[in-house]
Amino acid sequence: MLELVDELRQEMEAEEMTSEDDVERFRIKYLGQKRGRITKMFKKIRDVAPEDRPAFGQQLNALKQETEARLEQARERLAQDRPDETVSIDLTLPGRRPFRGSVHPLTQTMNDVVRIFERFGFAVAEGPEIEDDWHNFTALNFPPDHPARDMQDTLFIEASEGGEGGVLLRTHTSPVQIRVMQEQPPPVRVVVPGRVYRNEAISYKSFCLFHQVEVLYIDEDVTFADLKYLLHAFARSLFGDDVRLRFRPSFFPFTEPSAEVDIWWENPDHPDGGQWLEILGCGMVDPNVLTAVDIDPERYTGYAAGLGIERIAMLRYGIDDIRLFYENDVRFLDQF
Ligand code: DAH
């Protein structure tokens, strides 16, 4: 019987293993749980004479260990022969970028606008988005039941009676002019960034909410020339030194005279090579407004302006649909 073990050892040692399949075949052939050659040999121990059993068992155990050792060696050798898998980290690859959020284009534009006015000495003020009729309209010289109130499609929270006493979502940042002047005597020099709301048909160019930055300066001897100077300087800061501005006469209840300011937007695809686009309304504060907040219009004058932030952001970034600002699509926001 011992010769059988020797024979099996010779056979085992003659095996060659050059692939993982070979290794697996070898394992099954010799050590497989049911039909492995060595496994089966262990079962033959019954046929061995009792006095020879210990020697047989020892030999067979030794063979089993040798077989397992060969198997292990073959596995290690094959693992070393696979350089592309053992060194599987490419240290030259660039790292993965962590996802970073970005500042919303409207916030960026509003911050830039406010920063420019801060450089000209303006302080920042804020006011409530839920406003009363008096601050939003009456104090700003909108007469009760006057069609001027229809200029702004108001979203009411509580209806007003005869144009007085209603509660509404502010339709512009101008009511903060009133709040600031109620709180501090002239000179007043503030900018007011904020959200405003209107009940408008939603389209590529209008949305039910948008952003404005209000500008207010009240002092002795303030003139329309000062206003023009400021707005020219502002436009140059924001759009560059070559910017072209145009003041167009207009009407607002709270300013007299009033103007709207357009900037020239060059566009080679346009038949005229570009077009004038409105970015703000402005004017000299109407004496009635100063009177409403107990400022003497004989002594003080002032100017005011209201800038449309969406308009400016659309120009700056070449965005042609205002609704994109409000969809929160990361693919859009990621670009700024
Ligand atoms: N409040 C006006 C609007 O929303 C914009 C405006 C025009 C504001 C002229 C001003 C101004 O301060 O002087 O349509």
Distance 305 CA to ligand 1 centre (A): 6
Kindly give the number of the ligand 1 atom that is closest to the alpha carbon of 283. Answer: 13
The pLDDT assigned to 120 comes to: 97
Token pair for 138:
């009456």
pLDDT digits (tens, 9 = 90+) for 161-197: 665 678 999 999 999 999 999 999 999 999 999 999 9
What is the DSSP track for 19-47? SHHHHHHHHHHHH-TTT-HHHHHHHGGGG
At residue 215, the pLDDT reads 98
Report the chain's C-alpha Rg in angstroms. 43
The DSSP element (H or E) to which 262 belongs, if any, is strand 255-266
pLDDT of residue 150: 63
- In order of 72, 73, 81, 165, 296, the CA distances from 84 in angstroms are 21, 20, 9, 79, 86
Low-confidence stretches of the chain (pLDDT beneath 50):
none
Q: Are 289 and 140 in contact (CB under 8 A)?
A: yes
* Tens digit of each residue's pLDDT (9 = 90 or more) over 266-294: 888 889 988 899 999 999 999 999 999 99
Q: In the prediction, which pLDDT does 178 show? A: 98
Ligand 1 — pocket residues by CB below 6 A? 172, 174, 214, 252, 255, 281-283, 304-306
Tokens representing residue 251 in the block: 């009407």
Give the nearest ligand 1 atom to 174 CA: 1
Cα of 213 vs centre of ligand 1, distance in Å, is 9
How far does the centroid of ligand 1 lie from the alpha carbon of residue 9, in Å?
100
Mapped onto helix, strand or coil, the DSSP state of residue 148 is helix
CA distance 166 to 14: 101
The DSSP string of 306-333 is EEEHHHHHHHHHT---GGGGGS--HHHH
**What are the angstrom distances between the C-alpha of 1 and each of 14, 29, 49, 62, 200?**
21, 20, 10, 15, 102
**DSSP helix/strand/coil, 205:** coil
| Burial class, 309, CB count within 10 angstroms (exposed 0-12 / middle 13-18 / buried 19+) | buried
Q: How many CB atoms lie within 10 A of CB 312?
A: 23
Buried/exposed 161-174: b ≥16 CB within 10 Å, e otherwise = eebeebebbbbbbb
The model's pTM? 0.72
Check if the beta carbon of residue 117 is closer than 8 Å to that of residue 105.
no
pLDDT (0 to 100) of residue 148: 58
Q: How far apart are CA 251 and CA 225, in angstroms?
A: 18
At residue 186, the 3 state secondary structure works out as coil
Nearest CA to ligand 1 atom 13: 282
Predicted confidence at residue 166, as pLDDT, reads 85
Using the mean position of ligand 1's atoms as its centre, give its distance from the Cα of residue 61 in Å: 99
**Which pLDDT score is estimated for 312?**
94
Contact in structure between 249 and 259 (CB atoms under 8 Å) = yes
Distance 55 CA to ligand 1 centre (A): 108
